[in-house]
Amino acid sequence: MEIILKKYHGLGNDYIIYDPNRNKLDLNTKRVRLICDRHFGVGSDGILFGPIWEGGQIKLRIFNPDGSEAEKSGNGVRIFSKYLKDSGYIKDKSFVLNTLGGNVNVEYLNKNGDLLKVSMGKTTFLSDKIPVTGPSREVIDELMTFNNKEYRVTCLSIGNPHCIIPMENISKEKASELGKYVESSRNFPNRINMQLLKVMDRDNIQIEIYERGAGYTLASGSSSSAAATAAYKLGLINNKVTVHMPGGNLKIEIQNDSTVFMTGTVNAIGSINLSEQFIDELLKI
């Protein structure tokens, strides 16, 4: 058996492409964990499983490093779209990609397909849709307690759930420490992604990210979209903003109907041909 994987990154957020049309081994939770392991496996922030063809649409499944399935990933969508172009699946300048978190419109902005604009869908602050426990409401600038300390938070869904916490000073250390408490808080029955938000000016924000099922992350498209939308809802920024992250920057545009557009780059890393020994390990689990 031969298994060939492709690896890309979007601003340091790296993903493995597992194409079921070219590889015959089924993935399960343990196999995803081993492949994503940075010491015993290939190492990545997740696996993009596809393309899957359903009803004339291209479907993508997104797996976190812990084996859980994510609804949507902005960087993942851009990366997968670049792979589709590189592999000859897509020849048009735009297409629609189906994810668990809904359809997204993808547009290639250059010939190589490494600069893309993606419609991330519409956001909602409704607690029932995110979800957040308690009475039905919009979760905006609300007090919540994590690790015995109160924070003002804004929560939303953009196909996947996010909790945004504005702060004057943010860091990797703060995100890594607080994120594990936020992700698994009883407020969020399906767990949640967390962003620490610093507003630089009306056109620029900075975020630090702790992703559900992955931990601290250098960059995230859905996190950028969520943080920008929350800051806009709070009246802190304009509707077009640059999101600064440790891995790089993304452009976010928020329209009047709450649709969010994300523009950013993708980098190809290469192909990985798994060894027979590693494949044997996968077959055993």
Annotated binding site: 13, 64, 74-75, 160, 193, 211-212, 221-222
Three-class DSSP category at 68:
coil
Cα 181 from chain centroid (whole Å): 19
**Considering just the CA atoms, what is the radius of gyration of the chain in Å?**
18
Q: Which residue has the tokens 């190809």?
A: 268
As to burial, measured by CB atoms within 10 angstroms (0-12 exposed, 13-18 middle, 19+ buried), residue 234 is middle
Is residue 113 left, alpha or beta, with left meaning phi > 0 and alpha meaning psi from -120 to 50?
A: left
Q: Which residue has the tokens 């189906």?
A: 98
Q: Rounded CA gap, 46 and 169, in Å?
A: 29
Binding-site residues for substrate, in ranges, read: 13, 64, 74-75, 160, 193, 211-212, 221-222
Three-class DSSP category at 185:
coil
Give the count of alpha carbons within 13 A of 104, CB side only. Answer: 32
Q: Rounded CA gap, 121 and 103, in Å?
A: 8
Cα 136 from chain centroid (whole Å): 26
